[in-house]
């Protein structure tokens, strides 16, 4: 089956969770309204279904390969990429000054879901280019911006992100790649980077690498890291392409999934002269710039989690309607029932749908706060939204990618034995999904970030205010007293109360028992995602109820109620895990 972009679901989440109408009314979206967004997403959906989806399985089988020192992407990849760039899809949120369309982040995030659901291994390439554009735009010199941004925004050149080294993964303080300053103000880069996504390919004439490296006199640790722009081919002052730079791909990894995305070992300065690089931002402040790129990329990777979950859900529903086995309580006559009639399959499909929609809402809310942070007139509003983005980014990344794997796994299960056989596509989704909790900062690191950096923001006031808003919605649901809401209000009230208590405990434990706090970080993040996701779905249910929705239109009520009564019920247990589980987690010696 072909993937269909869930435009109605996305627009529903934008309106009911991400505050689309409010953003429009406040004039923050430069005239972009629901109709425009719908039109963009419908077009994105067409491109995804017609061009990208058909390449997903063939790309998985062929993979990208290193042949005679060049990386060959699967057949059709280059043409698809060129169509993608020509369609202007690479430039949705980029500034107009550099040729972009300056569309709001909510549109770029929603379109990103569609590319990645259509073809995850393809979607990764523009995802990293967007991050590179953000970093150069924010901190590059005027000269670098003029020379590189127009080509990156148009998609003529792609961008990469070079952090990881064999001995420096989560802990970048250990990185050894060297940068040596030259008399002309440029630098020469020497070192090896591993796992570099789309580190090399022939889809474009040039590739712009953003590389973390250390100057000879740099202080140790993360305070001594600088960021450099290193082009694959040097660029002359008039923008034309010059000689090959001293950077090569020395290998392409064999992986569990995303086979078509080349994961490269990159060698800088192997030729002896060093790769020519240009400083982005200030010396020794490179990690700060890279964080600009990483935060954008973390939201984008969270959205990849939503994307694989949506693809898995669509496939599982289609299969469950076709496949017949056994008899259900609805069966009539002698024939076997479609498996979608069995209670356990229905629970499975509801779980897939509800987790996907909750994660989508969290990602779109993070995107909409990003828009406020960039576009609001008042500095106070911008600062509050910036803090909200900081709080939600690790949740968007980790919750969404964790559920991406879980939903993909349920999708395999719904297919029975055929799920394990490659031809249904369920197995590929499962394999592809598994990278998402690992790259762009592992989900373990996201949980540490949430607990140690984000909860303490403004002395805990940022998280407190957020939980206060969640509690108000839970109360509104409880008070609505609608029979079709079931126990939604109660269950969400308990989930939010659990989050509040766990947050208070974390605040104290960070001071008195830091190791205990870190041991509870991952369950705390899960609890956060369940409470937030449940509340966003409930806001969708409230909106559907207000509009007198019936039939298919009332789906948001059914999904929100299912989430509250079947998934958010884990929240009080997770709170206990956070508050009382650390000692046993750490009981055995290392």
Q: Are 175 and 135 in contact (CB under 8 A)?
A: no
Q: Nearest approach, Cβ of 102 to ligand FAD (angstroms)?
A: 26
Which one from 440, 464, 475, 565 is the annotated catalytic residue? 440
Q: Does 196 bind ligand FAD (CB under 6 A)?
A: yes
Q: Does 510 bind ligand FAD (CB under 6 A)?
A: no
In this chain, which stretch among 46-54, 148-156, 190-198, 236-244 interacts with ligand FAD, using CB under 6 A?
190-198
Q: Of 378, 386, 514, which is closest to residue 454 (Cα–Cα)?
A: 386
Strands (E), 368-452: none
Q: Of 354, 391, 361, which is closest to residue 524 (Cα–Cα)?
A: 391
Q: Does 161 bind ligand FAD (CB under 6 A)?
A: yes
Q: Does 125 bind ligand FAD (CB under 6 A)?
A: no
Q: Specify the 3-state DSSP secondary structure of 233.
A: strand
Q: Nearest approach, Cβ of 337 to ligand FAD (angstroms)?
A: 41
* Angle subtended by helix axes 461-480 and 379-414, to nearest 10: 60
Q: How far apart are CA 559 and CA 353, in angstroms?
A: 7
Q: Does 162 bind ligand FAD (CB under 6 A)?
A: yes
Q: Nearest approach, Cβ of 212 to ligand FAD (angstroms)?
A: 8
Q: Does 438 bind ligand FAD (CB under 6 A)?
A: yes
Q: Beta-carbon neighbour count of residue 569 at 10 Å? A: 16
Q: Does 263 bind ligand FAD (CB under 6 A)?
A: yes
Q: Does 164 bind ligand FAD (CB under 6 A)?
A: yes
Q: Nearest approach, Cβ of 261 to ligand FAD (angstroms)?
A: 7
In this chain, which stretch among 9-17, 155-163, 214-222, 354-362 interacts with ligand FAD, using CB under 6 A?
155-163
Q: Nearest approach, Cβ of 589 to ligand FAD (angstroms)?
A: 17
In this chain, which stretch among 19-27, 84-92, 100-108, 439-447 interacts with ligand FAD, using CB under 6 A?
439-447
Q: Specify the 3-state DSSP secondary structure of 252.
A: strand
Token duo for residue 256: 């569990």
CA dihedral 292, 297, 300, 301 (to 10 degrees): -140
Q: Does 433 bind ligand FAD (CB under 6 A)?
A: no
Residue nearest to ligand FAD (CB): 169
Q: How far apart are CA 466 and CA 469, in angstroms?
A: 5
Q: Does 435 bind ligand FAD (CB under 6 A)?
A: yes
Q: Does 122 bind ligand FAD (CB under 6 A)?
A: no
Given 195, 399, 430, 505, the residue binding ligand FAD (CB under 6 A): 195
Q: Beta-carbon neighbour count of residue 468 at 10 Å? A: 11
Q: How far apart are CA 404 and CA 419, in angstroms?
A: 16
Q: Are 221 and 190 in contact (CB under 8 A)?
A: no
In this chain, which stretch among 353-361, 442-450, 469-477, 542-550 interacts with ligand FAD, using CB under 6 A?
442-450
Specify the pairing of strand 233-235 against strand 241-244: antiparallel
Q: Own/partner pairs for 237-241, CB < 8 Å, 24+ apart?
A: 237/147, 239/147, 239/151, 241/205, 241/206
Q: Does 358 bind ligand FAD (CB under 6 A)?
A: no
Q: Are 372 and 380 in contact (CB under 8 A)?
A: no
Given 109, 158, 197, 503, the residue binding ligand FAD (CB under 6 A): 197
In the numeric block, the tokens 């040729």 are attached to 99
Q: Which is nearer to ligand FAD, 49 or 438 (CB)?
A: 438
Q: Cα separations (Å) of 423 from 238, 427, 429?
A: 50, 8, 12
Q: Nearest approach, Cβ of 548 to ligand FAD (angstroms)?
A: 47
Per-residue x/- marks for ligand FAD, 216-255, CB under 6 A?
A: ---------------------------------------x
Total of chain residues touching ligand FAD, rule CB under 6 A: 19
Q: Are 192 and 245 in contact (CB under 8 A)?
A: no
Q: Does 163 bind ligand FAD (CB under 6 A)?
A: yes
Site for ligand FAD in 373-432 (CB under 6 A): none
In this chain, which stretch among 89-97, 372-380, 434-442, 462-470 interacts with ligand FAD, using CB under 6 A?
434-442
Q: How far apart are CA 394 and CA 389, in angstroms?
A: 9
Q: Does 169 bind ligand FAD (CB under 6 A)?
A: yes
Token duo for residue 485: 């809401």
137 assigned to active site: no
* Residues taking part in catalysis: 440
């Amino acid at each position: 089956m072909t993937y269909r972009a869930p435009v109605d679901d996305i627009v529903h989440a934008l309106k009911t969770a991400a505050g689309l109408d409010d953003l429009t009314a406040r004039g923050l979206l430069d005239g972009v309204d629901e109709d425009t967004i719908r039109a963009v997403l419908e077009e994105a959906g067409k491109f995804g279904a017609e061009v990208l989806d058909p390449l997903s399985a063939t790309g998985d089988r062929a993979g990208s390969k290193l042949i005679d020192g060049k990386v060959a992407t699967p057949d059709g990849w280059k043409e698809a990429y060129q169509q993608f760039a020509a369609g202007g899809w690479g430039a949705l949120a980029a500034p107009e000054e550099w040729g972009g369309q300056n569309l709001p982040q909510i549109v770029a995030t929603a379109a990103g879901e569609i590319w990645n659901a259509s073809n995850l291994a393809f979607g990764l390439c523009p995802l990293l280019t967007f991050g590179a554009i953000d970093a150069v735009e924010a901190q590059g010199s005027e000269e670098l911006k003029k020379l590189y941004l127009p080509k990156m925004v148009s998609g003529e050149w792609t961008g990469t992100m070079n952090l990881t080294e064999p001995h420096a993964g989560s802990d970048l303080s250990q990185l050894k790649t060297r940068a040596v300053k030259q008399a002309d103000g440029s630098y020469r880069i020497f070192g090896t980077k591993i796992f570099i996504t789309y580190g090399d390919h022939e889809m474009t004439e040039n590739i712009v690498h953003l590389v973390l490296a250390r100057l000879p006199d740099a202080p140790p640790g993360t305070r001594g890291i600088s960021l450099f722009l290193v082009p694959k081919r040097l660029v002359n002052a008039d923008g034309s392409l010059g000689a090959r730079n001293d950077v090569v791909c020395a290998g392409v990894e064999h992986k569990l999934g995303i086979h078509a995305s080349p994961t490269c070992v990159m060698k800088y300065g192997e030729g002896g002269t060093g790769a020519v690089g240009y400083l982005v931002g200030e010396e020794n402040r490179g990690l700060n710039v890279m964080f600009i790129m990483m935060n954008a990329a973390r939201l984008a990777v969270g959205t990849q989690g939503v994307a694989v979950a949506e693809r898995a859900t669509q496939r599982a529903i289609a299969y469950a309607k076709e496949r017949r086995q056994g008899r259900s309580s609805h069966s009539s006559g002698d024939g076997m029932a479609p498996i979608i009639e069995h209670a356990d399959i229905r629970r499975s499909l509801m779980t897939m749908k509800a987790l996907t929609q909750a994660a989508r809402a969290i990602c779109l809310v993070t995107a909409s706060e990003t828009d406020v942070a960039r576009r609001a007139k008042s500095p106070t509003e911008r600062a509050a939204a910036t803090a909200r983005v900081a709080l939600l980014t690790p949740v968007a990344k980790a919750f969404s990618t964790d559920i991406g794997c879980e939903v993909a796994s349920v999708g395999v299960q719904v297919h029975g034995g055929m799920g394990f056989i490659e031809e249904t596509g369920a197995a590929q989704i499962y394999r592809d999904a598994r990278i998402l909790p690992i790259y762009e900062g592992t989900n373990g690191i996201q949980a540490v970030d949430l607990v140690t950096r984000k909860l303490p923001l403004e002395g805990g006031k940022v998280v407190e205010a957020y939980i206060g808003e969640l509690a108000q919605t839970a109360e509104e649901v409880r008070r609505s007293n609608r029979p079709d809401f079931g126990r939604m209000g109660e269950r969400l009230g308990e989930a939010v109360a659990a989050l509040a208590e766990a947050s208070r405990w974390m605040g104290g434990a960070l001071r008195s028992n830091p190791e205990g706090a870190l041991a509870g970080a991952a369950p705390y993040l899960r609890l956060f995602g369940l409470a937030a996701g449940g509340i966003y779905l409930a806001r969708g249910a409230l909106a559907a109820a207000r509009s007198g929705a019936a039939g298919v239109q009332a789906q948001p009520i059914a999904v929100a109620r299912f989430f509250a009564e079947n998934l958010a019920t884990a929240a009080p247990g997770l709170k206990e895990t956070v508050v009382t589980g650390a000692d046993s987690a750490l009981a055995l010696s290392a």
